[in-house]
Structure 1
Amino acid sequence: MTQLDPTILLVDDSAVNLEILQEALSRYNTVTASNGDDAMEIAFSRNKPDLILLDIVMPGMNGYEVCKILKSNDLSKDIPIIFITGQNDSDSILKGFEAGAIDYITKPFNIMELKARVKTQLSIKMARDQNQRLIHKIRTVNKKLTDSIEYAQKIQSASLPSKEFLDNVLPEHFIMLRPRDIVSGDFYWVEKADDKLIIVAADCTGHGVPGAFMSMFGVAYLHEIVGKNKITQPAEILNELRRIVIDSLKQDEDSEVKDGMDISIITINTEKKEIEFAGAFNDMLLVRNKEMQIFQADHMPVSIGETNLPYTNHVISFQNDDCIYLYSDGYPSQFGGPNDKKLMQKGFRNLLLENHHYTMAEQGDIYNKFFDVWKGINDQIDDVLVMGIKL
């Protein structure tokens, strides 16, 4: 069928009635059947009709039976059916609707009413078919996009440090990375430079595809800054990363693209038993002897900002069994719980403090499960990254 030439199946055991209907509906393509079996054969064919006008009283199967069969079959269930009959009492009409008909036309026919009802039902059918075509097209496009993004996720995952590398260079640790969408704007990065271990937890502007693009930039820039240029002090890494982001994205006060990153970076020197920390909005938490210390990040993004001062470099002596936590704002910002509110920084920090005595692997499981319970039926509102390291 096209919108210009719908086909109507006329089913009646009276040749006179079929002739009247064909003449009244001459503007449409019509096919006829004089009994239920022939009607179903046509309805199940490849060239199925767009509308069926179905008599009730016929030899063999009556119209109610035919209607029920057509509505129960996947090949014909979407074809609208109008009963045409002289049985116009309320019980008969109700029975017709219960069988699956959408309208009722009584005999003898009022031609103007017949044309109007047919036109209305065909318009509804064509609009519904158009919607189905659009839905199918949208699903096709969506699948192609989803397939592409899922492949991009594989590329993004491959850019992150491998589990084997992390297990080899990191102390006891866990990493919780949960993208809001398929790909993530949050990422982590780890590099060993001589006797120093550099660990990065980053939250790029946005999430999904835009965030993932920024995360790939971030990984590439960190390889250049640390791996190539041998910069290991966290504040200097941030200063250089900010400069590269601003230059690469041509950012100034008037630019539309002001995307960047919120990052926490630590450099661990095991020989000196020191941690250096610098952050852009993202703090570092240290738990020692059941107490939490908060090392605050500078309120300057890794991008063009209102102020572009050098980042602060904190130097902290660490002790064995100290627990370090780096994280993005996704976990504290998640709505949920009994009052459907954000967990907030205080709730998140209390959660870490209550569970820091467990092994890092156990903590990772605890925080993943808690997040699911807290979120409940709510949508995840942001990418989530939490890294825990036991020194």
Structure 2
Amino acid sequence: MYGYEVCEIIKSNKDTAHISVIFITAKQDTESIVKGFKIGASDYVSKPFNEHELMSRLNYHLELITTKRELEISAANLQEKNDTIMQSIRYAEKLQEAMLPSADDLNPSFKNHFIYFKPLQNLSGDFYWSKSTPKATYFAIGDSMGHGVPGALLSMVGINALNDIFEQDHNISPADMLTQLRKKEQTVFSSTAGIMHDSIDIAVCKFCTETKQMEFSGANLNMIIIGNHDINVDFESKHLTKTQQDDKHLIHIPGNKNTIGKNLIVEPFTNIEIEIKENDKVYLFSDGYRDQFGGNKGQKFKKKRFIELLLRISNLPFKDQKEELDKTMNNWKGEHYQIDDITVIGLQPF
């Protein structure tokens, strides 16, 4: 049996395929050498061979085999750890999903609504929250600093804090809710090493069923309302803007610049009252949509395009509005990577 045949038998058997084969051969032509490597040889030594050369090559290939086995063991261990981590993340994803209100939860409280929720990773730093009483419905959207696991942990802290605040006072104003939330978060942040500079941007709305009034307060997040009438707000700010397109009136209402967390200057949150009419649409959003890079020049989507988009789609059914938001974002983003969690909420209260 020729050396080539022996090598083929060794390499074709899964139990022996790992064995290094070194040819000791008198053949030194390129064709023979290439053939040997093609069928699985690791090396060759020309006849007449030197014993020291042969032993050096043997030791070298033994070291390669040992290193390969160590790498395979390390890779298997890493894969096992990765599988465990991913399993934990998938479980955490389900927990986070369970903490967010579902469409069925919102249906009794709103005439129409959509939730466009596009996390950057499995877990999201963006979140939304809602609670109802016979007289009012509360809705909040939050944007935690960071995304993935750190952002998701902050979002869960925020959701739990909102639940606690609501349970203590079912008639609390949005501004007071943010004030209480700030106190709770400052306690958490100041007592937990390493997260002193973490924060949550959040906007809270309260829709009063009987009076058809709404209240709004924002911590570094804003709100947009679109209606077929001039929307009056008893609030003045250089950042408040109004836009009209045909019979559509849009008002962009800013929140306070303070976030929930550490601020250089702590300011009181403003509670803004707005009269909502039938078929008015309220939009809440994190900064992920407008900050996404894309287009021909790789620019951010920005506030102006976002307002124009909402004006264009606001008369569509809410399901179609959500689809248009997704379609527009995908077209804008193109080959660019998503850079942040993206959340846009559309609500028709009455």
Normalised TM-score (structure 1): 0.77
- What is the CA-CA distance between 1:92 and the residue it aligns to? 0.9
Q: 1:155 aligns with which of 86, 90, 95?
A: 95
Q: CA 1:341–1:100 in 2, change beyond 3 Å: closer, same or farther?
A: farther
Deviation of 1:270 (Å): 3.9
**Residue of structure 2 equivalent to 1:190:** 130
Q: Distance in 1 between matches of 2:306 and 2:5?
A: 64
SS in 1 for 2:44: strand
The Cα shift of 1:212 comes to: 1.8
Residue 284 of structure 1: CA displacement?
0.6
CA RMSD of aligned residues (A): 2.5
- Aligned residue in 2 for 1:316: 274
Matches within 5 A, 1:136-215: 136-215=76-155
- Identify the residue that residue 334 of structure 1 maps to in structure 2: 292
Deviations 1:114-134 (A, max 9, x none): 122222222233222222211
Instruction: Find the aligned partners of 1:374 and 1:278 in 2 and give their Cα distance.
Output: 31
1:208 Cα deviation after fit: 1.9
| Alpha-carbon separation, structure 2, partners of 1:134 and 1:88 | 39
Provide the secondary structure at the position in 2 that maps to 1:125: helix
Alpha-carbon contact 2:189-2:261 (below 8 Å) kept: no
Question: Is contact 1:198-1:265 (8 Å) kept?
Answer: yes
Identity rate, percent? 35
Q: C-alpha displacement at 1:382, in angstroms? A: 2.0
Q: Is 1:354–2:312 an aligned residue pair?
A: yes
Residue 365 of structure 1: aligned partner: 323
Matched, 1:123 2:76: no
Q: 1:167 & 1:73 partners in 2: Cα distance? A: 63
Do the aligned partners of 1:251 and 1:258 also contact (CA within 8 Å) in 2? no
Question: Larger deviation: 346-355 or 65-74?
Answer: 65-74
- Tell me the equivalent position of 1:43: none
Q: Secondary structure at the match of 1:169?
A: coil
Equivalent residue number for residue 299 of structure 1:
257
Q: 1:106 to 1:246 in 2, by over 3 A?
A: same
2:49 matched residue in structure 1: 109
Match for residue 16 of structure 1? none
Letter in 2 for 1:206: G
Cα contact 1:238–1:311 (8 A) shared by 2: yes
Cα deviation for residue 211 of structure 1 reads 1.7
Cα distance in 2, alignment partners of residues 295 and 69 from structure 1? 77
Contact 1:251 1:304 in 2 (8 A): no
Q: Compared with structure 1, are the counterparts of its residues 260 and 375 closer, same or farther at alpha carbon in structure 2 (3 Å cutoff)?
A: same
Residue aligning to 1:229 = 169
Q: Distance in 1 between matches of 2:291 and 2:78?
A: 32
Aligned to 1:263: 202
Contact 2:25 2:47 in 1 (8 A): yes
Alignment CA distance shift 1:127-1:235 (3 Å): same
Structure 1 contact 186–204 (Cα < 8 Å) conserved:
yes
What code does the residue aligned with 2:329 have? Answer: F
Q: Displacement, 1:140?
A: 0.6
Alignment partner of 1:276 out of 211, 215, 235: 215
Give yes or no for contact 1:180–1:382 (8 Å, CA) kept in 2. yes
Which runs of 5 or more structure 1 residues have no equivalent in the other structure? 1-58
Task: Output one character per residue of 1:20-48: Cα deviation in whole Å (capped at 9) or x when no partner.
Answer: xxxxxxxxxxxxxxxxxxxxxxxxxxxxx
Specify the SS of the correspondent of 2:160.
helix
Give the corresponding residue for 1:51: none
Relative contact order, CA 8 A, sep 6+: which one is greater?
2
Report the TM-score when normalising by structure 2: 0.85
Query: 1:90 is matched with which residue?
Result: 30
Per the TM alignment, residue 73 of structure 1 is displaced from its structure 2 partner at its CA by 6.0
Distance in structure 2 (CA, Å) of the matches to 1:361 and 1:184: 22
Q: Distance in 2 between matches of 1:77 and 1:312?
A: 73
Is the Cα contact below 8 Å between 2:110 and 2:348 reproduced in 1? no
The residue identity in structure 2 corresponding to 1:313 is N
Separation (CA, whole Å) in 2 of partners of 1:76 and 1:376: 49
Task: State the 1:246 CA deviation.
Answer: 0.5
Q: Distance in 2 between matches of 1:243 and 1:296?
A: 22
Give the Cα separation in 2 of the matches to 1:374 and 1:280: 28
- Alpha-carbon separation, structure 2, partners of 1:274 and 1:72: 79
Q: Distance in 2 between matches of 1:130 and 1:154?
A: 36
Could you say what secondary structure the match of 2:309 adopts? helix
| Structure number, greater radius of gyration | 1
